[in-house]
Structure 1
Amino acid sequence: MKKENVILIFAACTLLLSGCAQNSGAAASSTTTAVSTTSASTVPSETITEAITTEAVTTTTSITEAASAPDLSTQTRLFRGYVETDKEAEYLFGAPDESSEQLSELTYGTLLEIYTCDHNGWYLAELGREKVGYVKADVIKEYPHKYPFGDPLFGGYVASDSAINLYSEPDESSDVIRQIEGWTQISIYESEVEGWYVTALAKTDDSGEYDVGYVKAEYIAEIPDYNMEATESKPNEYGFYELQDPPVSGISIAALSGTWYNPDKPNEQIMITNDGDLYSGSFTFTEENSDTINGSVRLEYGLNSDETRTYWYTFYKNGGTLWNAFGADGVIPLSDLYAGQSGEPHFVRAS
């Protein structure tokens, strides 16, 4: 074979095998056909086929190997995505081919950084800043969408008097999406980075969308377990039921911790402490004449005629007599307490 023809064949192979939309099998097939047609007039066809097939296989192999660990600094990040699938799991592959090495199992809700173009139905993706591979494009949804997760790790709460940040990345230098008030109850999901959790809070515009991001694990505590199969307890003499299972998010004694005052009688104040317990604590009420009432505060509920529950913060004097009950509606941040059906007395949180 003449030197000029060999150079022409190699150049054609290289040109046709480049391009992100071609998989390795298709690339090898296209190269053999195209180059055979170009060179058939100069040497016997069997010689051309043998030479080109060898060249194509060598080049294809090197491309597959390179695709298993691409340099992301040369790629364009498209979006953050999450896995949405009906299967037990999908996989991150070493190449855009289901017969290639499975680098990692991807369950529903797994977060991925999605890069560059679609490889015939595949995305280049990064998992946890550690693994880079390929994932089928039809199981990836842009994030955040709605609530993009399956079952949470546990029900948690912000174990802090101060608000904490919800970050866009598991990195304190990343953008702050919003703040989460201290003692707020949140669902906790697994993060790909140690020391961080994923969580979500409903947006305030009633759109049904969520602000989804990362919180530092050191500020999160797990809500204690409850007997979810317990039968309805009997009400106490005041008609309140002891809590048997967790209430809706945002309702807890921990959220009451602090000082409250009556705007109509500024010298009337309630000091509430939760003592590290979400659903019980203690209080001291100071009257206008400086007399004080001490006791315990609980989260309890009453049953409505349709068997639905209404939650109450109930305050009992030492000795067990009910002092007052304030409606617990789960509003975050909690800044007002209204007693009984009339809403009086009314207390506001001291700044």
Structure 2
Amino acid sequence: MFSDDFIKGRGAQLNISNKFHEHIHEMRDDFLNYCATEGDESSESRTTIIETFPKSIVNKVTSPDVGMDFSLNPYQGCEHGCIYCYARNSHEYWGYSAGLEFEQKILVKRNAVELLEKKLKSRSWKAWPIVLSGNTDCYQPIEKDLKITRSLLQTFLKYRHPVGMITKNALIQRDIDILKELAQDNLINVAISITSLQEETRRILEPRTATIKKRLDTVEKLAQNNIPVSVMMAPIIPSINSHEIMPLVKEISSRGANYVGYTIVRLNGAIGQIFSDWIRKAMPGRADKVLHQIENIHGGSLNDSRFGTRMKGEGEFANQVKQQFKIARKLYLKDCEKPILNCKLHEDFKDGQMKLF
């Protein structure tokens, strides 16, 4: 299935040039041949953690079609390595490649909790749901040691502030104790991202994420603890996971999910080159077919930045996907819907405790 030069355990198969750099670095064939002859590695495969101390942590989301108004990302870059990830492009702003370096160079916002607390105590701040992982996963592997996301959740609970989360990692189960307390006041909604029911598909699309079994178990455990949990089937990729809509929605319904959402794959900026290189190495027999189908969804291009169409696509395939989700929701999630989070408590907890007068 894989070509001979496929890098196992990573999503991106190359580091492309950063468009913001004055100088461009190219991996030449003669250098690669030299490395092969000498038995040297052409690049390091280890993950590097880089500490940062930003001045702010809550971001206003201006895009009208992403379903959130504010986001918070304790980490930049993501070791999960999902090949299609739209967040790859943002890594170029930090001076790194959207390819392998997005997975290997993880920026940690060490003062995230301090900045969030400052924001929530601000007199000018009016409570509105803040979504963790609007860009990169807040439960990626390094979180197991650093526990920044857990501390952020404790801060949201302290100030009784609504928070949303989206993750591909079963590590969220570690924090069920805090999530249960938030849920008691309708302050939390969790979305688990599940792209496929097939483990082989998961392994090549999202190489360092939790297994499908662990993610389905996570949906079930959250629901059993009365924590509102939905599922994002994102993205839908033609001829890779597009045939799984009905069985996936049926499965998550049986696990207790209250809603399912989706997006259709779009390959903006550097992601087009990264994905095209990946699929020719990971699925050489299907590469041309899949790329042509993606182009048909987005008006003949892999790249679509138009608000209103970029997330759902256009044409016959996009309409078929839309109808399948409509039918699936009617069959399996008829009386389910995402909760509207409680924004009324926070004002009385601005100082971290209930105001008595």
Q: Is the shorter-chain TM-score for this pair beyond 0.5, marking a shared fold? A: no
Q: Which has the higher contact order (CA 8 A, sep 6+)?
A: 2
Richer in helix (by share): 2
Name the TM-score, length of structure 1 as normaliser. Answer: 0.24
TM-score, normalization by structure 2 = 0.24
Bigger share in strand: 1
Higher Rg: 1
